[in-house]
Amino acid sequence: MMGRAHLIIGTGVTLSVMGMSGIPVTLPAVAVAMVSSLLPDIDEPNSLLVRKVIPSGFLRLLQLMMIGAAIFVVFFGRDHAPWNFALAGLIGVVSYLPSRTLRHIVMFLIGLGLISFGQAFSPWNIIAGSVLIVASLVTHRGFTHTIYAAAGWTGLLYFASQGKVSAAESLWFAGGLSYSIHLLADALTNRGIRPLPPFPWRIKLKVMSTGSKWGRMVENICILLTLVLVWYVFMAS
């Protein structure tokens, strides 16, 4: 499924289940559900979540800054020739890498910075930094699309929220369920997911193909049913 469908369906179904189960639907829980509905695709540089956090405009600015840095190294590092040319060339090569690769590099550096310096501001920065580093190193629909990742994310939310926020149950429940709904949705596609690597089992129900006319129709039907469910739980009852 596309990012928009994951966001609406994952968040809508999660909040509806919480409402029917009597679990408090708090603003932090809504935010966690929204992020978790997109989080499995953080290993895809062009996914909705990554593009919102690291927009194309930022990448263009970063490329210009690296080109400027390369020029600076060439002219002001002449005392260290020919190493200044080698370093400038390396910076120049990095600046012309594809957007996907640049986003991975930025994700890794941000994650490293959050782990190194973010703990002083919030313990959540360590979690965010770890997620970014792992996501920048794995392949799409790899580790992030496994039961291990869903359980790990739920566990992180559980232990990070205990005694620190009110209605802590709302956070880990919202995050775990929304994340799992994303995996279930991807299991409906032709590519499917491998939920328990290294075991070769792959769940692919082949109900839809992402990007196809039939796939878009299935997505729209699921979105409509989700909106009906949300209306029924929070408006009609």
CA–CA distances in Å: residue 128 to residues 44, 54, 84, 133, 198: 16, 15, 35, 9, 26
Q: What is the DSSP letter of 136?
A: H
For 217, residues 6+ apart whose C-beta sits below 8 A from its C-beta are none
**What confidence tens digit (pLDDT) does each residue in 74-104 have?**
888 877 788 878 888 888 888 888 887 888 8
pTM of the model: 0.78
110 vs 132: CA distance, rounded Å: 7
**What confidence tens digit (pLDDT) does each residue in 160-194 have?**
777 665 667 889 999 999 999 999 999 988 888 98
